[in-house]
Amino acid sequence: MMVRMTASSTNEVKATIITPRVERERRHSTAARMAVSRARTVPGLTRSRIGWGAVGAAMACYQTALEYAKARRQFEDKPIAAHQLVQDKLVWMITEISKAQLLALHVGRLKDQGRAHPAHVSMLKMNNVWMAQETARKARDILGANGIVDDYCIMRHMNNLESVSTYEGTHDIHRLVIGERITGISAFV
Ligand SMILES: Cc1cc2nc3c(=O)[nH]c(=O)nc-3n(C[C@H](O)[C@H](O)[C@H](O)COP(=O)(O)OP(=O)(O)OC[C@H]3O[C@@H](n4cnc5c(N)ncnc54)[C@H](O)[C@@H]3O)c2cc1C
Residue minimizing CA distance to atom 14 of ligand 1: 167
Atom of ligand 1 nearest to the CA of 188: 41
What's residue 28's pLDDT? 42
How far is the centre of ligand 1, averaged over its atoms, from the C-alpha of 77 (Å)? Answer: 47
pLDDT single digits (tens) 121-164:
999 999 999 999 999 999 999 999 999 999 999 999 999 999 99
CA 94 from centre of chain: 17
Count other Cβ atoms within 10 Å, centred on residue 56. Answer: 13
| pLDDT per position as a tens digit, 167-184 | 999 999 999 999 999 999
For residue 169, report the distance from its CA to the centre of ligand 1, in Å. 6
67 is catalytic: no
pTM higher than 0.85:
no
Q: Ligand 1 pocket: which residues have CB below 6 Å?
A: 163, 166-167, 170, 172-173, 176, 188
Please state, in angstroms and rounded to a whole number, the distance separating the CA atoms of residues 44 and 110: 13
Please tell me the residue having the least CA distance from ligand 1 atom 38: 173
pLDDT for 42 beyond 70? no
